[in-house]
Amino acid sequence: MLNNTNFLQSLLVCGGLLMSLNTTAADLSIKKDYPLEKLSANVYVIHGPNEEVSKANQGFRNNPVLVNTKAGVVVIDPGSSLYTGEMLVKKAKTISPKPIIAVFNTHDHGDHWLGNHGIKKHYSNATIYAHQASKLAIASDEGANWIKAINRQSKGQIEGTKVVAPEKIIKDGDRIKLGGITFRIYSPGKAHSNSDIMIQIVEEKVFVFGDVLRDQNLSLFMASYTGNLKALDIGQKSGAKVFVPGHGKSGGKEIINRYRKFITALKGEVKKQFEAGLSDFEMAPKVTRALNKYKSWSGFKDNIGKLINLAYLEVENESF
């Protein structure tokens, strides 16, 4: 007869075996075929699902960009998992026989950089570039916390993904030349996050905003509305013709204007109610009603309360 300790050990062994069987049996590669859309002679984008992370979208929801240079492919924001990274490795092979040579992470939110793992698994020599604050955050507990959060929200779809932190720090004004193409770096300070970089692909007239620009999509993250509006202006005045948001479809200046109008309306409504003496709690239903035309935007219902709260704090700070 098994004593208690032996019984417990056999349970653990069985559990371990079952778990490893499950992990090896599950094929978590990205099932849906997301098309590469051509934005200019050498720049392509995949418009990920414009929605929250779910089991159905396998945690994938951002807009990875591929740039075909003479030296190899450059990836901007490889998505939310080992599997989105591997999807991009396959897509890169359809535009160039050369390897992926570099990856840029626009900021430290996991839906944008967890795909580093998939790229590095196949191209260990690829260099990963990011803002210093991204590098620090990703290498800290925050990196591992992003894996847990997205794995939980996608019901295990990113299992096996590991933190692969950026290596090279980039800063405002840098011009990185790769295979004949210039990547002009802008670091606008506090905007969508504390670690945003925006990338102008100069010869291609394409500007990649990261989450500083979102089209018809709202999240609970915002570091500074004032900073975000200034960062939108930088892109608008850059001379680029095509703009890539972190979420939603790419387009011309109309998508910058659409997001600017939303931020301005939200902040304006909050300011109006603040000046009338209402607390953030009291003004939330009024502001939400005033922004009714945006209610079809992805994430509106879940995030508008938090966004009003953040706008209230900013208006309060700016009133001193």
List residues binding Zn ion (CB under 5 A): 109, 211
Distance between alpha carbon 215 and the CA centroid of its chain, in Å? 13
Residue 251 CB-density burial (10 A; 0-12 exposed, 13-18 middle, 19+ buried): middle
* Smallest distance, Zn ion to C-beta of residue 310, A: 14
* Smallest distance, Zn ion to C-beta of residue 107, A: 6
Give CB contacts under 8 A, 24+ apart, made by 22-26: 23/159, 23/160, 26/156, 26/159
* Smallest distance, Zn ion to C-beta of residue 97, A: 33
Residue 242 CA: distances (Å) to CA of 112, 176, 203, 249: 20, 20, 12, 11
- Closer to Zn ion by Cβ: residue 192 or 258: 192
- Closer to Zn ion by Cβ: residue 204 or 211: 211
- Closer to Zn ion by Cβ: residue 136 or 278: 136
- Closer to Zn ion by Cβ: residue 91 or 109: 109
* Smallest distance, Zn ion to C-beta of residue 6, A: 50
> Bridge partners of 132?
none
Distance between alpha carbon 272 and the CA centroid of its chain, in Å? 32
Instruction: Quote the CA–CA distance of 244 and 308 in Å, as a whole number.
Output: 26
SS3 content of the chain, % helix, strand, coil (to 5): 45, 20, 40
* Smallest distance, Zn ion to C-beta of residue 247, A: 8
CB-nearest residue to Zn ion: 109
Give CB contacts under 8 A, 24+ apart, made by 304-310: 304/218, 306/220, 307/218, 307/220, 307/222, 307/266, 308/266, 308/270, 308/280, 308/283, 308/284, 309/280, 309/284, 310/222, 310/225
Amino acid at 236: Q
- Closer to Zn ion by Cβ: residue 211 or 314: 211
- Closer to Zn ion by Cβ: residue 109 or 131: 109
* Smallest distance, Zn ion to C-beta of residue 185, A: 18
* Smallest distance, Zn ion to C-beta of residue 7, A: 48
- Closer to Zn ion by Cβ: residue 181 or 266: 266
